């Protein structure tokens, strides 16, 4: 049988075969997992949190340290006295002591407390100073309304703000307000907080506290307020000047109905009680004096500049007695001469420097009859006085006063602009078109320059009211305030520098320590060339155009007339030297005048004012 053996030569031993080395077998291992340094991440998060907490604690500690002396303020039962000085240093007015008798809890009628709680703070007896549910409710209401219609501040917060803080909307002020609210809730009872609030709150027409307000408006003590009277007083809390029955009785009664509705909704009164309650009889009268519109405006602006706990104050204003007399007399004379015949019952006049220092303010025909300030508050259509924004936008886009356009009929979005005389004059340059107040060319300019840019120009020059982007935009169909429009003309008058109207120059303590002083570095907002073009066409409008009645003897005058649709508003705004003056006439209920244009009564009032200065 054959076997498989290696053949070996005789006499030789077979060479042993070297054993093969086996390669070591590597044990299978699972792939390494990438481990995230979670511990390190959490350490950083914790560190950031702790440092943030430490910083917040330091910030709150600093804010707490800088809080006013609460005990000292609570001990003071009368507001500080404020002395207003005219620009020449003479005493303009002394304001303060508007309190009456300090009422105790038992003296304040429940109907008044219920009215205040219903409209301002229904959960007053349930929260500890801050009403988180109230804040949430206000947020929801504001979102649904698309506007700021409700606030979330409690009565305690309002007391803290009114007594100790300025009304500026900063994080610091809000945090300090919350701290003070908590302090008040811990150291005073709910009734004590109510007593402090009811006796200190400002209620319009120079009155502080419900007793002074009751006597001012109804000629009797707050102890005997009726339901309607209590609702009216409570309604003043939102905006004391706007809803004062001495300045705007209709708005005051409308606000009263809102409060009665809140009382009904809160279960404080029945439907029958609301339906049966008549409007209260207003027996108070406004103060007198042509300067009162000015001093009211100053006092409204003062809390934004100084701490209300600063004690007695001396306020240096920009008021000029000569300018005030000139403005008051000119408007009064015009309304006496033409008011009845032309159906003109109201007017307003503003005189300011071309950098915004308000020297005179006439807010209406008679402060004694109406405290409503038409110079600072009323919204009216400016008509062609708005065209400065159209022409300035065009000049900034590269046009000039000699650029020619055609006065001709055309239709824009199913609307056809018309000129005052109903005629069309054909080709002319922009200087002529502005002087003659040609409407068709103004509308064409606004379209070429872009309506949106015209709106931006108006806003840049200080117009804050809503401007509607409609075809008739160029003709001044959106409402403005006289104060803002006059300030905008001031930008052109001063060569293109920003104008922010003001009345307060300096505030000191009774001892002379300065606590506020106006310092401003005017900002250029319009370049020199477009400003020169605007000055040129405004001067031409007075020299040869619709503003001829405003011409001054021996002085260059520049300005623009404005007349709204159906003669509801008539304006003249212009400047000469370093003074800018704005005039408006019309009727509060917007009834048409009898063909009163800006070139008629307003231009003559403007000239009378400026000739005296």
Q: Among 458, 491, 489, 488, which Cα is nearest to 473's? A: 458
Are the CB atoms for 458 and 389 separated by under 8 Å?
yes
CA angle 594, 381, 358 (to 5 degrees): 105
CA 269 to chain centre: 35
CA distance 155 to 158: 5
Count Cβ atoms below 10 Å from residue 52 Cβ, excluding itself.
10
Q: Among 278, 318, 284, which Cα is nearest to 301's? A: 318
Q: Among 170, 190, 78, 69, which Cα is nearest to 129's? A: 190
Distance, first Cα to last Cα, the chain: 149
Query: For 162, how many CA atoms within 13 A lie in the half-sphere containing its CB?
Result: 22
Find where tokens 């600093």 sit: 62
Instruction: From the candidates 205, 241, 244, 384, give the one annotated as an active-site residue.
Output: 384
The pair of structure tokens assigned to 134 is 């109230």
Q: Among 289, 293, 316, 360, which Cα is nearest to 88's? A: 316
3-state helix, strand, coil in the chain (%, to 5): 45, 15, 45
Q: What is the CA radius of gyration of the chain?
A: 36
Q: Among 545, 555, 386, 362, which Cα is nearest to 461's? A: 386
Q: Among 336, 429, 365, 347, which Cα is nearest to 391's? A: 429
Q: Among 497, 472, 471, 462, which Cα is nearest to 578's? A: 497
CA angle 572, 574, 577 (to 5 degrees): 155
Instruction: From the candidates 120, 177, 211, 371, give the one annotated as an active-site residue.
Output: 120
String of b and e for 480-493 (b: at least 16 CB within 10 Å)?
Answer: bbbbbbbbbbbbbb
The pair of structure tokens assigned to 148 is 């700021």
User: Residue 83 in 3-state DSSP?
Assistant: strand
Residue 384 annotated to the active site: yes
DSSP state string for 246-287 = TT-HHHHHHHHHHHHHHHHHTTSS-HHHHHHPPPPPP-----
CA distance 214 to 23: 108
Residue 487 annotated to the active site: no
Residues labelled as active-site residues: 120, 384
């Amino acid at each position: 049988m054959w076997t498989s053996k290696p053949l070996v030569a005789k006499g030789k031993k077979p060479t042993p075969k070297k054993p093969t080395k086996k390669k070591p077998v590597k044990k299978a291992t699972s792939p390494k997992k990438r481990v995230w340094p979670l511990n390190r991440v959490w350490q950083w998060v914790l560190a950031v949190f702790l440092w943030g907490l430490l910083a917040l604690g330091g910030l709150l500690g600093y804010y707490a340290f800088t809080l006013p002396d609460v005990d000292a303020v609570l001990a003071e039962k009368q507001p500080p006295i404020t002395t207003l000085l005219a620009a020449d240093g003479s005493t303009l007015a002394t304001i303060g002591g508007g309190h009456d008798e300090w009422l105790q809890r038992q003296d304040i009628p429940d109907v008044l407390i219920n009215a205040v709680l219903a409209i301002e703070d229904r959960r007053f007896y349930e929260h500890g100073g801050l009403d988180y549910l109230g804040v949430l409710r206000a947020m929801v209401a504001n979102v649904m309304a698309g506007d700021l219609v409700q606030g979330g501040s409690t009565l305690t917060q309002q007391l803290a703000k009114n007594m100790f803080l300025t009304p500026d909307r900063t994080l610091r002020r809000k945090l300090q307000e919350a701290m003070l609210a908590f302090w008040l809730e811990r150291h005073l009872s709910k009734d004590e907080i109510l007593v402090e609030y009811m006796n200190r709150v400002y209620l319009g027409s120079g009155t502080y506290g419900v007793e002074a307000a009751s006597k001012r408006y109804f000629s009797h003590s707050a102890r005997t307020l009726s339901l309607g009277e209590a609702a009216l007083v409570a309604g003043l809390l939102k905006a004391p000047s706007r809803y004062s029955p001495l300045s705007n009785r209709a708005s005051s009664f409308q606000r009263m109905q809102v409060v009665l509705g809140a009382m009904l909704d809160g279960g404080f009164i029945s439907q029958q009680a609301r339906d049966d309650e008549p409007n209260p009889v207003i027996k108070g009268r406004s103060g007198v004096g042509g300067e009162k519109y000015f001093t009211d405006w100053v006092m409204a602006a003062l809390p934004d500049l100084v701490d209300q706990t600063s004690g007695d104050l001396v306020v240096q204003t920009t008021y000029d007695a000569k300018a005030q007399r000139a403005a008051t007399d000119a408007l009064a004379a015009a309304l006496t001469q033409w008011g009845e015949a032309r159906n003109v019952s109201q007017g307003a006049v503003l005189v300011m420097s071309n950098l915004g220092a308000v020297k005179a303010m006439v807010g209406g025909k008679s402060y004694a009859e109406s405290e409503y300030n038409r110079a600072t508050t009323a919204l009216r259509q400016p008509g062609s006085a708005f065209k400065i924004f159209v022409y300035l936008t065009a000049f900034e886009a590269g046009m000039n006063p000699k650029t020619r356009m055609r006065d001709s009929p055309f239709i824009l979005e199913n609307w056809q602009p018309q000129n005052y005389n109903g005629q069309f004059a054909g080709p002319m340059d922009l200087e002529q078109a502005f002087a003659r107040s040609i409407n068709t060319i103004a509308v064409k300019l606004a379209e070429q320059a872009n309506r949106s840019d015209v709106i931006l120009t108006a806003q840049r020059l200080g117009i804050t009211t809503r401007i509607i982007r409609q075809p008739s935009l160029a003709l001044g169909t959106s409402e403005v305030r006289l104060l803002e429009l006059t300030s905008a003309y001031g930008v052109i008058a001063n060569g293109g520098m920003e104008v922010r109207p003001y009345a307060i120059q300096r505030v000191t303590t009774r001892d002379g320590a300065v606590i506020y002083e106006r310092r401003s570095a005017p900002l250029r907002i319009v370049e020199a060339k477009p400003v020169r073009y605007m000055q040129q066409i405004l001067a031409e409008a007075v020299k040869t155009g619709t503003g001829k009645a405003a011409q001054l003897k021996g002085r260059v005058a520049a300005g623009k007339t404005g007349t709204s649709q159906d003669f509801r508003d008539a304006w003249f705004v212009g400047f000469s030297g370093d003074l800018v003056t704005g005039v408006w006439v019309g009727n509060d209920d917007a009834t048409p005048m009898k063909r009163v244009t800006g070139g008629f009564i307003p231009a003559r009032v403007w000239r009378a004012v400026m000739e005296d200065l």
